[in-house]
Structure 1
Amino acid sequence: MLTTREKFKSFYYQDDVFPEIKINKSTTALLIVDMQNEFILRDFGEAQQFKDAGVWERWIPFHDRLDEIVIPNNVKLLQHFRTRHMTVTYGRIASLREDGADRSAVQKSDGWNGINLHVDSFAAQMIDELKPHKNEIVVNKTTDSVTTGTNYLQLLRNMGIKTVVVTGIVTDQCVASTVRGLADDGFQVICVEDCCAAGSMALHNAELTIMNGVYCNVLNTDEVLELIDSSAE
């Protein structure tokens, strides 16, 4: 049976043997990206817009994956981090001005990526299943990447973090740009395949294959849990 890293092995790495992954619990952080009411709930936000526009049918597989796979696995991983007193962080799309004037150009653009979620709105909050606890850091972004236009990288360095475990949505946009930003800045990155989703499985699988081995190690939830439990303090 193929490991997740082998499953998502790209053209460039077909002849390579991936090295063993080593982490330390005290220097590893979880980062949950954009798991917000606006994007997740079926009777609110984007889902309601899709229904009103008559295109809901093509988004049902995405929401099925969220409800049946991505949310339960994020909950499982989050609880694992919390019970082991490991660092938990969040990145979310949230503007500081109600008119969204502080947003980056990409989030002022027309179409699906044109987003304005005020920081205090219900839409901007993380879903109830993944609601942050006290002392868990939430970084507000008006960009796709959590690392661009925020102080997230500095916060990680201040806390001595060396490895970041990334989950969330969507795989080929905000997750991917965040993974690349972390990797380019020198962090070891793990992207959790079954804690992420894209608009289609084709996009999800393609992006993970592109990133695996160069920007991150792609693992599944059970592999990450095993890695944590076998790691040094």
Structure 2
Amino acid sequence: MGWNAEDFDSDWPFDEQGTKFELRNNKTALLVIDIQKGDLVKDPTSEYGVKYPYIVEYWNKRIADFVLPNTSTLISFFRKFDLPVIYTRNGAITRTGKEMSRRLRVKRKLKQAARYRGIDAYEIAQEIQPVENELVIDKLTSGAFNFSILDHALRNMGIEDIVMTGILTDMCVLGTARVASEIGYNSLICEDACATLTQRAHIDALMVHARCFGRVETADDIINELRE
């Protein structure tokens, strides 16, 4: 069963305001956003877990039951048909994190173990590891297009349609998806291969995208469309 934005806001004029396009298998890439080892499981016994047990329970189940398996399915499909798979990783480049924006530096001080390039928590999840010649882009910002080679690489590959999975739906995924739309790409978020801290925040983010900037679909519907 597919995902339908009108189920969540039947009053919105999607026929007038929404963005319509069809995925083309010779123009489409999969962008896997920040699915890194350090974010896969939240510890229920940690200070955060004790304070927000409902978030920990929801998050751990969402990652295990939806994000990892559906992203893996999409990756396998894209590889089978020789379509580009691109990954992003989010975090500091250095141990100090001084190169990050002030907002992110402040947040890092609140964490016991900040994430930076070179430690295991920074790496892509084991279940969806990139293979040889798949592009991995490191970023200091939430959005994947800011100060990275992503746009340059996609245009050189001839990509015009982007399917996005990853975390967090309302932060890095939505930020990337919106910019993709603004700079001329057909932008699609895979609903059941993304996660954020609550279901409400997840739906709210998807609705922002669906109302104006692009499409939201399930992994099954994306695969079926690209097969046609």
Instruction: State the TM-score, normalized to the length of structure 2.
Output: 0.89
**Structure 2: how far apart are the matches of 1:77 and 1:206?**
24
Please name the residue that 1:39 is paired with.
39
Q: Does 1:13 align with 2:13?
A: yes
Q: For residues 24-63 of structure 1, what are the structure 2 equivalents within 5 Å?
A: 24-40=24-40, 42=41, 47-48=42-43, 51-53=46-48, 54-55=50-51, 57-58=53-54, 59-63=56-60
**Structure 1: how far apart are the matches of 2:2 and 2:141?**
35
Could you list the per-position Cα deviations for residues 1-51 of structure 1 after superposition, in whole angstroms to 9, with x for gaps in the alignment?
7753443557542564967632221211100111001111x3xxxx24862
61 and 135 in structure 1: CA distance in 2 versus 1, 3 angstrom threshold: same
Please name the residue that 2:204 is paired with.
206
**Structure 2: how far apart are the matches of 1:180 and 1:113?**
29
Please name the residue that 2:71 is paired with.
74
**Structure 1: how far apart are the matches of 2:186 and 2:6?**
18
**Structure 2: how far apart are the matches of 1:192 and 1:90?**
15
60 and 97 in structure 1: CA distance in 2 versus 1, 3 angstrom threshold: same
Superposed displacement of residue 190, structure 1: 0.7
Superposed displacement of residue 155, structure 1: 0.9
Does 163-172 or 54-63 show the bigger shift? Answer: 54-63
Could you list the per-position Cα deviations for residues 37-80 of structure 1 after superposition, in whole angstroms to 9, with x for gaps in the alignment?
1111x3xxxx2486244235122111111101121111111110
Q: Please, which of 153, 156, 178 is the counterpart of residue 155 of structure 1?
A: 153
Contact 1:167 1:191 in 2 (8 A): yes
Instruction: State the TM-score, normalized to the length of structure 1.
Output: 0.87
What CA RMSD, in Å, does the superposition of the two structures yield over aligned residues? 2.5
199 and 31 in structure 1: CA distance in 2 versus 1, 3 angstrom threshold: same
Please name the residue that 2:81 is paired with.
84
Q: For residues 134-173 of structure 1, what are the structure 2 equivalents within 5 Å?
A: 134-173=132-171
Please name the residue that 1:4 is paired with.
4
148 and 17 in structure 1: CA distance in 2 versus 1, 3 angstrom threshold: closer
**Structure 2: how far apart are the matches of 1:160 and 1:113?**
41
210 and 108 in structure 1: CA distance in 2 versus 1, 3 angstrom threshold: same
Q: What letter corresponds to residue 167 of structure 2 in structure 1?
A: I
Contact 1:106 1:113 in 2 (8 A): no
- Count of aligned pairs between the two proteins: 225
Q: Please, which of 184, 187, 207 is the counterpart of residue 185 of structure 2?
A: 187
**Structure 2: how far apart are the matches of 1:81 and 1:31?**
11
Structure 1 SS opposite 2:23: coil
Q: Which runs of 5+ in 2 are unaligned?
A: none
**Structure 2: how far apart are the matches of 1:9 and 1:84?**
36
Could you list the per-position Cα deviations for residues 124-149 of structure 1 after superposition, in whole angstroms to 9, with x for gaps in the alignment?
00111111111111110111111112
182 and 50 in structure 1: CA distance in 2 versus 1, 3 angstrom threshold: farther
